[in-house]
């Protein structure tokens, strides 16, 4: 089967990895909207316009399902994406919220995601008595994109972001931006051992696997390998190195323009 997915940059790689683990031997079209990175400090109107353009582009890519690999767009414009695409849409926030069992939950996310309280609202829908605290982390995405993830700088920033959540005695911590699983080793080191880290891509992949398993029995065009196609909206030269670094593939990458796609 053929799946479309997107993020502002390398964050969606963490979703792609999890999905490939559970649903290998499929085709993936990954769009990194590098020209407009970072998304996490943009207004709701800007994100809605981006979501319209991206889903319009994907509506021409002959996909069987769409994966929203970006929490910020998920939080603000999931309905826009669902309206534009006539294939099943799998999202991070809804998928993760249904799997949360702890009574005190922390969320790290971009400022634009935190503003919507999308994680809090989605979790409370399933478990109304849960205590949820959300922390905006504006500095993480630029640092992760620059691969500045082993420095004293990022440790200092992470300490500052985690403090209010740890003061609230959380039992689990949701990585509410798809870039953040790339700093799992740092966060694991900093968290008390009783705090469970939750990557929403796991719940999304599980849902996708159920979909794939149900469809695959009558799907004629099965593949024996993972087929990856990458597209970016800028920085064409850097992207293959980033894919090599994070995914260990050195793909061909194509440059596209999303202007006037909305
Ligand atoms: N990785 C995306 C997210 O999950 C976007 C981060 C950004 O570009 O600020 O929110």
Q: Where are the domains of the chain?
A: 2-91+202-255, 94-200
Asked whether residue 261 carries a pLDDT value surpassing 80, the answer given is: no
Identified catalytic residue from 70, 81, 85, 191:
70
Q: 2-91+202-255 maps to which CATH number? A: 3.40.50.1860
Asked whether residue 247 carries a pLDDT value surpassing 70, the answer given is: yes
Please choose from 15, 38, 140, 199 the residue to mutate so as to test ligand 1's pocket, defined by most ligand atoms within 8 A of CB.
38
- What is the model's pLDDT at position 15? 98
Is 157 exposed, middle or buried, given 0-12, 13-18 or 19+ CB atoms closer than 10 A? middle
Under 8 Å between Cβ of 241 and 57? no
> What confidence tens digit (pLDDT) does each residue in 114-134 have?
999 999 999 999 999 999 999
Nearest atom (ligand 1) to Cα of 38: 8
Considering the chain, what is the average pLDDT of its residues? 95
204 within ligand 1 shell (Cβ under 6 A)? no
11 within ligand 1 shell (Cβ under 6 A)? yes
The answer to whether the 2-91+202-255 and 94-200 domains have the same CATH topology is: yes
Distance 177 CA to ligand 1 centre (A): 5
Give DSSP secondary structure letters for 21-86.
HHS-S-EEEEEE-GGG---TTS-HHHHHHHHHHHHHHHTTS--SEEEE--HHHHHHHHHHHHHH-S
Nearest atom (ligand 1) to Cα of 92: 4
Nearest atom (ligand 1) to Cα of 42: 9
Which of the four CATH numbers 3.30.200.20, 3.30.1280.10, 3.40.50.1860, 3.40.718.10 does domain 94-200 have? Answer: 3.40.50.1860
178 pLDDT band, cuts 50/70/90, is very high
Identified catalytic residue from 97, 177, 183, 212:
177
Distance 47 CA to ligand 1 centre (A): 11
137 belongs to the catalytic site: no
23 belongs to the catalytic site: no
112 within ligand 1 shell (Cβ under 6 A)? no
The overall pTM is greater than 0.75: yes
Distance 42 CA to ligand 1 centre (A): 10
> What confidence tens digit (pLDDT) does each residue in 80-103 have?
999 999 999 999 999 999 999 999
72 within ligand 1 shell (Cβ under 6 A)? yes
Nearest atom (ligand 1) to Cα of 73: 10
Indicate the SS3 state at residue 124: helix
Cα distance between residue 121 and residue 235, in whole Å:
36
């Amino acid at each position: 089967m053929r799946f479309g997915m997107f993020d502002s940059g390398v964050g969606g790689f963490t979703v792609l990895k999890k999905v490939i683990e559970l649903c290998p031997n499929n085709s993936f079209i990954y769009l990194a909207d590098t020209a407009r990175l970072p998304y996490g400090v943009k207004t709701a109107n800007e994100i809605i316009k981006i979501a319209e353009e991206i889903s319009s582009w994907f509506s021409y890519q002959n996909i069987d399902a769409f994966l929203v690999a970006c929490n910020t767009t998920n939080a603000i414009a999931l309905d826009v994406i669902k309206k534009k695409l006539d294939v099943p849409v799998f999202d991070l926030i809804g998928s993760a919220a249904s799997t949360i069992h702890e009574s005190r939950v922390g969320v790290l996310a971009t400022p634009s995601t935190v503003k919507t309280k999308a994680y809090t609202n989605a979790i409370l829908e399933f478990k109304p008595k849960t205590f949820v605290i959300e922390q905006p982390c504006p500095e993480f995405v630029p640092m992760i994109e620059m691969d500045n993830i082993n420095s004293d700088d990022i440790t200092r920033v992470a300490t500052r972001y985690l403090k209010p959540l740890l003061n609230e005695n959380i039992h689990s911590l949701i990585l509410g931006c798809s870039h953040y699983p790339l700093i799992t080793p740092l966060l694991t080191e900093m968290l008390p051992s009783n705090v469970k880290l939750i990557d929403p891509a796991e719940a999304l992949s599980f849902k996708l696997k159920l979909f794939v398993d149900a469809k695959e029995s009558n799907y004629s065009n099965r593949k024996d390998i993972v087929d990856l196609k990458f597209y970016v909206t800028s920085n064409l030269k850097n992207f293959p190195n980033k894919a090599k670094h994070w995914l260990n593939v050195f793909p061909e990458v194509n440059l596209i323009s999303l202007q006037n796609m909305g």
